[in-house]
Chain A
Amino acid sequence: MHIAVCIKQVPDAKNVRIDPDTHTLVRQGVESIVNPFDLFAVEAALKIKDALGARITVLTMGPPQADEALREALSRGVDDAVLLSDRAFAGSDTWATSTTLASAVRKLGDVDLVLCGKQAIDGDTAQVGPEMATLLDIPYATFVKKIEMLDERHLKVTRQTDEGMEIWKLPMPSLVTVIKELGEPRLPSLRHKMRAKKAEIPVWGVSDLGLDPSAVGLAGSYTQVVRVFSPPRRGDRIVLQGTIEEQVDRLYHYLKEAKVPGI
């Protein structure tokens, strides 16, 4: 079985904060990390590999330094990595990103299963997985917390929905996006770290993927950002002072006044 895992390098949200005076994003000290949901996807692939044996290829589209994200996946036990990098990819929306990733999966050729995190924490769109599956013309299941093999050609997946859980039977090849409940990613091992350090990672650009430059990046995107601005500040903030009793009385009074449900 050949599993392709698509990952993304994102700014570490933990360190992103808003300057209270200027109300702009403070980026100092913000490092790049592998999107946390994508690490669950890497773990999902490794679990299948442990149980049944599989070859795992990890893919990312990004600038040359996104290479670090691939090495991190390699250090956790992934077999191969490919970096999709080209100036022409800059400014991709989810459609152009899906087009690029789908071409790479097609170029790999024999992929049985594509795994992605449910969404990336910088954009939060959750669109690239389903759009990619549509372009590859394979079935997919989103927000999956458990993957089991039913037989050689079918998966049994447990999806988390707003209402509860659903268990689906999915033929392969297919695409699955995973959530946190799938399980914490394992730590890198020393052996794999050594291998990851030395690995030569192939870089595929527009021509390697057989794509027209006008089909990728901003040129190939359908959506365009026209304005970026700071979110409006929340209304007046009130800090309740006094003894516990006074605080309780005042909060109750405010919530009652605001006609908050349940109070």
Chain B
Amino acid sequence: MKALVDRKKCTLCGVCVDVCPFSAIIVGETTIEITDECTLCGMCVDTCEFGALSLPEVGAGPAADLNAFKGVWVFAEWREGTVHRVSHELLSAGRVLADKRGVPLAAVLLGHNLSEDSTKELVAFGADTVYVVDYPELAHFADDTYADVLVELVREKKPEILLAGATSIGRSFIPRVAASLHTGLTADCTELDISADGLLLQTRPAFGGNVMATIICPNKRPQMATVRPKVMKPSKQPAHQGEVVPVSVPQACLKSRVEVLEVIPEKDQTAKLTEADAIVSGGRGLKKPENFALIEELAQLIKGAVGASRGAVEEGWIAPSHQVGQTGRTVSPSLYMAVGIAGAIQHLVGMQSSKVIVAVNKDPMAPIFDVATYGVVADLFEFIPAFIKKIKQERGD
């Protein structure tokens, strides 16, 4: 199968030829031709301003009865006695989808010794129903138990949409849920909407964030997506009413084939990159490992985490757990400061969705300035100490 060309619409302008990453488009005499190199990536489709290109539709047949599925669900992530912030964000996003669709919104909370405050809070963030599954076997996360319990509930209650945070937990077990239910899953969404006929429009970055793709799951239910933390805005509605429903599941769902031997929380708080609201990252421009002290001092001052470019990690100046980018962590804090980082694409991919980006670099041509909200062309060894001094002065330290 290949991309489809509408010969009546094609003007032979050739724009798509340059866009195709696989060189699969050739300009013929009367129309363009798609070669066997086509991987159906879809890059050409949106480029064509004449609407001449399209992709063939997915198959896998229509599901038995799409109308049997109703409601929006959010998997609420229980961690160390609290619900992860991303679950509140998703409930707020889910509320919008549910209202547009005119269906109820539910949260599903799995764990053990789940507090009443947490379930009430899920209602305050918009849930009409909170399903609570509380078993000692769920005290700690394991892919098989968490997935099998969720699959059991979905089979019974049939929601049309199921959302979860794209955290280390969500990204790990949600694919098992989707595969068990034989339905589609879109990872790492940054935008969600719903069409008039109830299709979840799931938008996510692709090709390392260079393009955005909107994806649908036309024939299977539930429509499933993981959503990046810190992208959706949590909004509390204290007056919102909802019910809390304890749910029991068959014992078979609670049996895990893996055994958790040990859980070692990260001692180094500075490495908790994905959670941080502010991050100061250092790169090769720091020149030697000792100079990371500058980064650490600034990070501590603004209560932020310490990040690093791949270059700095490869030099051995800092542990890999601090690495931001394609082979490291993807972050989107309110403030990201890139210090002495040139901005290779693999780094930009991991931080370009941050709200405010500050870049400090000597080279005005450095690609990091392309994504920076505020670019400071300066010697970091002069600028950073002066900036630290300024913050301290303003605070009256």
Contact = CB atoms under 8 A, between A and B. Distances in A.
18 contacts: A11-B21, A13-B346, A91-B55, A122-B207, A130-B176, A140-B143, A156-B261, A160-B168, A162-B168, A171-B258, A181-B321, A222-B217, A228-B213, A231-B205, A234-B373, A244-B383, A251-B376, A255-B358
Nearest to B329: A162
Contacts of B295: none
Category for how many chain A residues contact B? 35 or more
B362 to A, nearest CB: 12
A245 interface: yes
Interface of A: 11, 13-14, 16-18, 20, 24-25, 27, 30, 36-37, 63, 87, 90-91, 93-95, 98, 121-127, 129-131, 133-135, 139-143, 156, 160-171, 180-181, 214, 217-231, 234-235, 237-241, 244-245, 247-249, 251-252, 254-255, 258, 260-263
Contacts of A11: 21, 207
Interface stretch (B36-44, B68-76, B241-249): B36-44
Given A163-B80, A235-B373, A263 B215 contact: no
Interface stretch (B121-129, B130-138, B180-188): B180-188
A229 B218 CA distance: 20
B301 interface: yes
Given A125-B188, A221-B59, A263-B302, A226 B208 contact: no
A134 B176 CA distance: 6
A228 B258 contact: no
A217 B58 CA distance: 9
Contacts of A143: 168, 172
Given A124-B208, A168-B259, A223-B216, A14 B375 contact: no
Contacts of A36: 327
A162 B278 contact: no
A3 B302 CA distance: 47
A224 B216 contact: yes
B173 A130 contact: yes
Contacts of A262: 277-278, 301-304, 335
Most chain A beta carbons < 10 A, residue from B40, B183, B278, B321: B40
Contacts, number: 321
Contact of A228 (B206, B220, B394): B206
Nearest to B84: A162
B215 to A, nearest CB: 5
Interface string B194-213: 00000001000111111111
Given A126-B171, A139-B257, A254-B374, A261 B334 contact: yes
B188 A124 contact: yes
